[in-house]
Structure 1
Amino acid sequence: MDQVQLKVLQDWFNGYVRGYYSDDPELQAGVRLKEEHTLRVCRQIVRIGRSLQLTAEDLHLAEAVALFHDLGRFEQYTQYRTFNDRRSEDHALLGLRELERAGALRDLPEPEQGLIRTAVAHHNARDLPGTLQGRELLFSRLIRDADKLDILDMTVEFLTNPRETLRPVLGPDLPDTGEYAPVLVENLLQQKKCSYDDVKTLNDRKLLLLSWLYDLNFPYALAEAAGKGYIRKIIETLPDTEIIRSVACCLQQYLKDRVPPGEYQP
């Protein structure tokens, strides 16, 4: 993909999002939250791609994937007033339908269209299908890492400097009871990803987000997670118990084993 093709997609995206702008403060806040998230993920995916020494053409393609990865969020929030897929519908599939309806990709070569669709379709899946390989796997991993890093960033920002506009990141309907599910702790100690099925409280959501560190694919993303101190900043908001301290040590060791010396900052 060349710069001109990317610019066409960016212009289309900007016009699409503006169509969801609203005088309703709640709706406008949700739209802006996802618009700003998308633009940050675009920048993040390019940084990861550069760390892998991707070509300029592939960096443009990666940015296009990031541009469209959350396209379904705008219709989702407008229609359902939630970002919870379980209470509405899968936002990745909704985004693909919107792309198809608008014909936004029609001027791209078919291989590039296919890569974008595949990466968008799988960006929010708990696990990537084992059938993915080659470039489909690469671009799917790129968007998953870039997306996770920004959501972790927003989570830490909300926990350290709460703003109502960021509340949807953690889940506005989750009770802040101080409790957490033992199964989530067990998964973290076994270096396994957690499941949304087990998330019932605000602390559960925090533990699930910490488990995303086990799903980061590229050295740059792991170093970024270590350098930003996500583990410490989220753990500090959880109960100060021996088992939570064990979770913190396990996560810190996981990153330390994978991040080059000098780049690791707990």
Structure 2
Amino acid sequence: MQVEQLHALKDWFNQYVKCFYHDDPDVQAGIRLKEEHTRRVCEKILRIADSLNLGTGDLYLAETIALLHDIGRFKQFALYQTFNDRRSENHALLGIRELERSGTLNTLTEEERNLLVKAIEYHNLRTLPPDLPERLSLFSKLIRDADKLDILDMFTRSLSRTHEPGQEQISGLPDTPGYSEVLIRNLMEGELCHYDDMKNLNDRKLLMLSWVYDLNFPYSFSEVTRNGYIEKIVSCLPETGDIQKVYGHLRDYITRKLAR
């Protein structure tokens, strides 16, 4: 992929997003939330890719995937006033339809288009399909890690605020006491938690902790440690033996990953 193609796609992205700007401050806050998220994910994916010493063309492709991974969010919010896929539709597939409709990917090679579209399709799956081709697996993991790192950052920042734009659209969960035991079991068994098992905001926090098990690169684990995401989330959960066991288990897991 060439730098001129990346610049053209950035120009297209900027013009596309501006079509969803709105006079209603709540709507505009939602659009800006995802616009800013996209820019940060672009920065993060480049840092991860650079840590892997990828070539220049692959860096451009990785940044393009990050640029377009959430393109469906803007139409999703315009149509449904929510970022919750369960209350609307799968934003990854919606984004792919928007890209196909616009023809903006026509300047890419067939291989690049297929890789980009599949990486976008897979970025919000609970887990990746097994036995993916090597390059598709690489770029899918890159966008999943970059996306998760930024969402973890947004989420931990929101824990110290009384209101975070877009949070109620994303989760819609009540801030009630306690947590679901099934999520504790998932975490202790090294498994990702299920969205369907969440009953309250504490469950959302536990699910976010489980994302550690779906990170793929040393840079990602080092960022989790450097920013203290685990500690910040745990400090906002009930002070129980279960939570302390989960915390210890996650710290041991991250330590092992970094040691490799």
Q: TM-score, normalised by structure 2?
A: 0.97
Per-residue deviation, 1:108: 0.8
Q: Is the 8 A contact 2:9 2:64 kept in 1?
A: yes
Q: Is the 8 A contact 1:196 1:208 kept in 2?
A: yes
Relative to structure 1, the CA distance from residue 209 to residue 154 in structure 2 (aligned partners, 3 Å threshold; closer, same or farther) is: same
Measured in 2, the distance between the counterparts of 1:260 and 1:71 equals: 36
Per-residue deviation, 1:170: 5.8
Q: Is the 8 A contact 2:84 2:170 kept in 1?
A: no
After TM superposition, the structure 1 = structure 2 runs for residues 156-167 of structure 1, keeping only pairs within 5 Å, are: 156-165=156-165, 167=167
Q: Is the 8 A contact 2:183 2:197 kept in 1?
A: yes
Per-residue deviation, 1:169: 7.6
Please state if 1:149 is matched with 2:133: no
Alignment RMSD, CA only? 1.3
1:169-190 Cα shifts (integer Å, max 9, x gaps): 862x201112211000000011
Deviates more, 1:45-54 or 1:161-170: 161-170
Q: Which residue of 2 aligns with 1:264?
A: none
Measured in 2, the distance between the counterparts of 1:169 and 1:193 equals: 22
1:55-86 Cα shifts (integer Å, max 9, x gaps): 01100000000001001000101110111101
Please state if 1:203 is matched with 2:202: yes
Q: Which residue of 2 aligns with 1:70?
A: 70
Q: Which residue of 2 aligns with 1:185?
A: 184
Per-residue deviation, 1:160: 2.2
Measured in 2, the distance between the counterparts of 1:136 and 1:229 equals: 30
Q: Is the 8 A contact 2:62 2:143 kept in 1?
A: yes
Amino acid at match of 1:248: Y
Larger relative contact order (Cα-Cα within 8 Å, sequence gap ≥ 6):
2
Runs of 5+ unmatched residues, structure 2: none
**How many residue pairs get matched?**
260
Measured in 1, the distance between the counterparts of 2:21 and 2:226 equals: 35
Q: Is the 8 A contact 1:156 1:233 kept in 2?
A: yes
Amino acid at match of 1:256: T
Runs of 5+ unmatched residues, structure 1: 262-266
Measured in 2, the distance between the counterparts of 1:169 and 1:60 equals: 32
After TM superposition, the structure 1 = structure 2 runs for residues 32-181 of structure 1, keeping only pairs within 5 Å, are: 32-165=32-165, 167-168=167-168, 171=171, 173-181=172-180
Relative to structure 1, the CA distance from residue 235 to residue 170 in structure 2 (aligned partners, 3 Å threshold; closer, same or farther) is: farther
Amino acid at match of 2:150: D
Amino acid at match of 1:251: L
Q: Which residue of 2 aligns with 1:257?
A: 256
Amino acid at match of 1:81: Q
Look up the SS of the partner of 2:238 in the other structure.
coil
Q: TM-score, normalised by structure 1?
A: 0.95
Per-residue deviation, 1:164: 3.0
Look up the SS of the partner of 1:217 in the other structure.
coil
After the TM superposition, which segments of 4 or more aligned residues of structure 1 sit over 4 Å from their partners?
none
